[in-house]
């Protein structure tokens, strides 16, 4: 069974701080997606990474896919209160479906 483990599960930081969220597995994934979910809403796709070693940037967010395609990270620079939410990674499994990590709840305090 392919699993994705996210860490940390909870993160509470002050506005302006940097942070990194990790998404790890012992299995290889053909691609990995990152979603953000705000309270009362469904998850919304932020980015998809496909190639091992790939780095993608979305304003202050930097996403990296591990060389072996078993892990990924999300780095936020100078976090803002608007970044508050639940961050989910999801891998395209060998059964043809998405497997989701358990999520990282981020709170950015003004």
Over the window 5 to 24, marking each residue x when it contacts another protein by CB under 8 A and - when it does not, the resulting string is: -x--x---------------
For another protein, the binding residue among 43, 65, 74, 85 (CB under 8 A) is 43
Nearer residue to another protein within complex by CB, 13 or 92: 92
How many angstroms separate the first and last alpha carbons of the chain?
A: 41
Question: Closest Cα to residue 89, out of 30, 46, 55?
Answer: 46
Binding to another protein by residue 50, rule CB under 8 A?
Answer: no
Residue 44 vs 78, nearer CB to another protein: 44
Distance in Å, CB of 11 to another protein, minimum = 14
Is residue 78 a contact residue for another protein (CB under 8 A)? Answer: no
State the Cα–Cα distance between residues 46 and 62, nearest whole angstrom: 11
Whole-number minimum distance, CB 23 to another protein, in Å?
11
Residues of the shown chain interacting with another protein in the complex, contacts defined by CB under 8 A? 6, 9, 30-31, 33, 40-45, 48, 88, 90, 92-93, 96-98, 100-103
């Amino acid at each position: 069974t392919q699993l994705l483990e996210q860490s940390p599960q909870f993160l509470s930081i002050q506005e302006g701080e940097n942070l990194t969220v990790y998404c790890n597995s012992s299995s290889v994934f053909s691609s990995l997606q990152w979603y953000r979910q705000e309270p009362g809403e469904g998850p919304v796709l932020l980015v998809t990474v496909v190639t091992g070693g790939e780095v993608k940037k979305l304003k202050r967010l930097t996403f990296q896919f591990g060389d072996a395609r078993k892990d990924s990270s999300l780095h936020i620079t100078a976090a803002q209160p608007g970044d508050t939410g639940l961050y989910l990674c999801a891998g395209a499994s060998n059964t043809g479906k998405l497997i989701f990590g358990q999520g990282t709840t981020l709170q950015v305090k003004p």
